Structure 1
Amino acid sequence: MNVGIGLPIADPAALLTWARCADAGPFSTLGLLDRLVYDNPEPLVALAVLAGATTRIRLQTEVLLAPLRDAALLAKQSATLDRMTGGRLVLGLGIGGRGDDHQVSGVDMRTRGRRLDAQMAVMRRLWSGEPYGDGVGPIGPAPARPGGPEVLFGGFKPAAIARVGRWGDGFLAAAPPSWAGGLFDTARASWKRYGREGKPRLVAQVNVALGPDRVVDDARTAMAAYYAFTGMADRMVAGMLTTPAGIRTAIAGFADLGADEVMLYCYGRDPGQVERLTDVV
C-alpha cells in the first residue's frame, strides 16, 4: 500500500518544507487541491516548484478543475511538467462544484462535464504526438510517459466515474472506507465496460491532522472554510482523523477494499505533521 500526503493550501511558501520532508520519508505522492476563487496556490505552478525541490516523489493534482482551462494549453503544461520530472506527474481531474470558479473563467457549469470529455479527447491526441487538427500541427513537448501523464478522475456520480474507463488510468475517491467500496466497484465496472486491460489504479483520500490541539484546531478551521460552500462543512470536519490509531485503521480499511494508495490530506499548516505521519505509516 502506497501512502501519500495531501498538502495544506493556507501557506504556499511553507510547501517547500513539506515537500522536502515527504520526499525524504516513506511517502509516494504529494497532492494539491485546486480552486480558482480562493486563497490557494495554482496547483500546476506550485507542483512545478515542488518538483525542483524533490527527486523521487510523485506530484498529483487532487483534483485539477480541467473545465476552467484551455485543453491545448493544459495538455502542453502537463506534458512539460511530466517530461521535466521524469514522469512523476499524476493528473487528477474533476469538474468542480463552485459556481464562482466557473463564473470567473467563463465556463457554463451546465456543460462542464461535456467540456471535460471534449478536453480529454484533445489532450490524449496531443500527448500521443498527433496534430491538433484543422491544419494545426502537433503541440509538444512529448510527455515522459507514453500517451500522457497518468490521469485519475475524481467524482461521485456514475457519469463522472465512467470517465475512468473511457479516458483515464484510475480513480480518486475522496470518501471514507464505508462509502469508497461502492465507488471503487463502479470504477472497476467502467474499466471493464470499455474493454480496458488490467485494472484501474484506485486512490483513496482521507483528511487527517496529527499534533497538539493548536495543529488540529488549525486544520479544522481551514477545512471548514474550504468546504463552507457545501453546507456540510461541520459534518466533513467531524470526519477528520486525529489519532495514529484512527489513521492506521483507515489505511487498513482502504487496503481491504483494494486501494493502491491512500492520500493523507492535511489542512493544518504545521510541517511537523510529516514526521508524525511517518511514524504512523
Structure 2
Amino acid sequence: MQIGMTLPVMEPDVNAKILKQWAQAIDEGPFSSLCWGERIAFGNPDSLTLLGALTGWTERVPLVATVIVPQLHNSVMLAKALATGDLLSGGRLTVGIGVGGRHEDYRAAGADPKTQTMRQMAERVAVMKRVWAGEKVTESVLPVGPAPARDGGPRLLVGTTGPKTLRSAAQWADGITGISLDLDLDKQNELFDVARAAWAEAGKPKPHLATSFWFAIGDGAAPRARVAQHLLHYMNWIPREYVEAMAPTTGWAGTDEELVAVLRGFAAIGTSELHLIPTSTDIGQLRRVADLVGEISA
C-alpha cells in the first residue's frame, strides 16, 4: 500500500510559506503522492493556481488533486489547465473528479446546483478527454492545447463514497478516491468490492483503490481535540451541534504505534493508496508520519 500526504490547505492559518514548506517536505519522500482538495466558498487556495505552484515546488512526487468538481468550471478551460499542470509536472498529475457536496460552492461559482449529478459530471469528463485527445471541440483553427504529458490526459479517479457513483464512473475512471469518516474497514472493503466488480464488468484493469482520513498524532486528549477543532472549521456548512456529535468518531487520533496499526489494517483490505489529511499546519505531524512509512512498507 502506498501512503500519500495532503497539504493543509483547509487550515485557517495556511499561507504561501507553509504550503511551500509542506510541498517540499512531501517531495523529499517517502510519500507516494502530494494531495489537495477543492472548495470555492472557503478560505483555501484555488486548486488550479496551486497546481501551477506545485509543479515548480516539487520534482519527484506525484500530484493528486483529490477532488475537482467539473461543474464548477468551464470544461474546456479546466481541460486546458489540467493539461498544463500535467505538462509542467512531467506527467505526475492525477485528478479526482466528483460532483461535490455543497450547493454554496455551485452558487459561488455561478454554476447551477441542478447540474450536481453524475450524468453532468460524466458529460464534462467526456469533453475534457476530447480536448486531451487533440480533438477540436469548436470550429477553431487549432485544437485546444497543450497536449498533456501523459497520453489521453491525467489519470482520473472518481471521488465518491457511494456505490452508485462508482458503477457509473467505471467507464471513464482509472480508480476511486474517497474518504473514510469512521475508519470502518469492513464498510470500506465493501465499497472497494463494488469498484472491483464494476471495473471487471467494464472489461478494464483492476481499479486504483484510494481513500483518506483526517489524522492527528500525539499522546493524551490533545490529538482528538485537534481533529474536532479542524472538523468544526472545515464542516462549516453543517450545524455545529451535528459536527460536535460526530467529532469523537470521525478521523483518527492517537500515538505513532496506533497509527501504524490502522495503516496496516487498510493495507490488509487491499487499499492501493491512503491519503492522510492533516488537521493542522504543524509540519512536525508530517515528519512523524514520514518516519512511520518505512514500517508499513517493511
TM-score by length of 1: 0.92
Match of 1:141 in 2: 146
1:2 maps to what in 2?
2
- Give the alignment's Cα RMSD to 1 decimal: 2.0
- The answer to whether the Cα contact below 8 Å between 1:153 and 1:163 also exists between their aligned partners in 2 is no
Deviation at 1:264, TM superposition (A): 0.9
Which residue of the other structure, out of 165, 171, 174, is the alignment partner of 2:170? 165
Greater CA deviation, 76-85 or 203-212?
203-212
The amino acid across from 1:2 in the alignment is Q
Distance 1:6 1:237 in 2: 22
- Partner of 2:190 in structure 1? 182
Alpha-carbon separation, structure 1, partners of 2:81 and 2:179: 25
CA deviations over 1:174-205 (Å, ceiling 9, x no partner) = 12223211111111222122222x21111121
What secondary structure is seen at the aligned counterpart in 2 of 1:269?
Answer: coil
CA distance in 2, matches of 1:219, 1:8: 13
**Judging changes above 3 Å, is the alpha-carbon distance between structure 1 residues 246 and 230 closer, same or farther for their aligned structure 2 residues?**
farther
SS in 2 for 1:139: coil
**Alpha carbons of 1:134 and 1:183: their partners in 2 closer, same or farther (altered >3 Å)?**
farther
Q: Mapping of 1:76-91 within 5 angstroms?
A: 76-91=80-95
Deviation at 1:32, TM superposition (A): 0.7
- Name the residue aligned to 2:44: 40
Structure 1 vs Structure 2: percent identity of aligned residues? 35
Which of these residues, 50, 56, 71, is aligned with residue 54 of structure 2?
50
Query: How do 1:123-134 residues align onto structure 2 when only pairs under 5 Å count?
Result: 123-133=128-138
- 1:271 matched to 2:283: yes
2:161 equivalent among 132, 156, 181? 156
> Do the aligned partners of residues 180 and 36 (structure 1) sit closer, same or farther apart at CA in structure 2, a change above 3 Å counting?
same
Alignment equivalent of 1:223, drawn from 231, 254, 262: 231
> Is there any run of 5+ residues in structure 2 with no aligned partner, and where?
294-298
Deviation by residue 1:136-173 (Cα, 9 ceiling, x = unmatched): 74211111111010111111233321243111111013
The answer to whether the aligner puts 1:252 opposite 2:259 as a matched pair is: no
Count of aligned pairs between the two proteins: 280
CA distance in 2, matches of 1:23, 1:219: 25
Alignment of 1:233 onto 2:238: no
Amino acid at match of 1:49: A
Cα distance in 2 for residues equivalent to 1:104 and 1:157: 25
Where in structure 2 are the equivalents of 1:54-133 lying within 5 Å?
54-113=58-117, 114-133=119-138
Extract unaligned runs of 5+ from structure 1: none
Residue 229 of structure 1: SS of its match in structure 2?
coil
TM-score by length of structure 2 reads 0.87
SS at match of 1:186: helix
